Each structure stands twice: as C-alpha cells, then as structure tokens.
Amino acid sequence: MIQQSTPVFTAIPAREIRPPSYSQWVSDGFAQLENMYTEWVVSLAKIEELAQKRIYDADDTTDFDLRMHRMLLYGVLQQGEVLALGIEKYMSENEDDAVQAPDYLNLVDKKLESVRHILHKWHCPVDAQDEIPESFFQGLRDFKEGRTADMEAALTEPPPGA
C-alpha cells in the first residue's frame, strides 16, 4: 500500500507576491517619474526599431509578428498611462513644486497619441482606417458585386452603354 503524504505549503511572504502600493511606488518624488519617463521613451524607441524590421519594412511579416507588435504596443500604452497617472498625482499633491510636471505630462500624452495611431494604423480593420480613401472601398464593393471588367477589354473597348 502506498502512503500519500499531505503536501506542505509554505507561505510566500507578501512582499514576494504583491507589488508595492501606488503611493509607495511614487513616493520618491518627481525624480522617479523622470526616470520612468526616460525608461519608457527608451522602450518606445526599441519597439519602433523592432517594428521597422519585422513589420513596416518586412516582406515576410507573420501573424506572430503582428501579435507581438500588438502586445508590445499595448504594454507601452499601459506604461504610459501609469506614468501619466503618476505625474497627475504628483501635480495634485505638490502644487507649489510641480513646475516640470505639466511639460512631462504633455510629452507623455503626445507619445501615447502616437502609439494609439500606430496601433490603429497597423491593427484596426481596413474599413476603420481614415487614411484609406472612399474610392478604395467603392472599388471593393464593385468587385464584390461583380461590377468588374477584363483589364484588356477596359483599355481597348468602349465602356458599356457608351
């Protein structure tokens, strides 16, 4: 007969599994927010460099590449929003000392808008993209409804009804 022993679970200290509170995280003042901003901008540059190679200039982009791109963009969007919240919190708690904070917040918001634009441009459905002219969509509708002509006939014969 095989005896089963009762598993022993040891408690993991709370500091190992729980992140610090938000107030502890930004308690070092604005210097920590400036460091976060610098690290975030470096991350954005690295992601842009990777995307240039794997997505924008690549002839062999895969679904994996696109999924990875979305994941990285979502990550920097989240980091940017956390940074913006930290700056806003700092400004509300340090009204007399928050001289640089609005400039940083403005920069973060501009970069967030740029990342959202990239996400929209590369990962939204084609019909949701503002940069594609309506004539393209009309051509797609014509094709789906069978309103097409052979290229040679279109170039050499008069249009129907003319």
The two most distant CA atoms of the chain are separated, in Å, by 95
> Residues for the chain: how many in total?
162
**Owner of token pair 């991350």:** 43
pLDDT digit string (tens) for 90-115?
A: 888 887 776 788 899 999 999 999 99
Nearest to 110 by CA among 83, 132, 137: 83
Nearest to 84 by CA among 68, 92, 45, 43: 92
Under a CB-based contact definition with an 8 Å cutoff, are residues 84 and 108 in contact? Answer: yes
SS3 of residue 54 by DSSP: helix
29: which 2 tokens? Answer: 């003042």
Q: How confident is the model at residue 147 (pLDDT cuts 50, 70, 90)?
A: confident
Q: How confident is the model at residue 155 (pLDDT cuts 50, 70, 90)?
A: confident
**Owner of token pair 């979502």:** 74
SS3 of residue 151 by DSSP: helix
- Residue 7 confidence (pLDDT) above 60: no
H/E run at residue 139: helix 134-144
pLDDT digit string (tens) for 19-39?
A: 555 555 545 668 888 999 999
pTM of the complete model: 0.63
Q: What share of the chain is helix, strand, coil (3-state, %, to 5)?
A: 65, 0, 35
Q: What phi and psi, each to the nearest 5 degrees, are found at residue 75?
A: -65, -45
The vertex-87 CA angle with 85 and 50, nearest 5°, equals 75
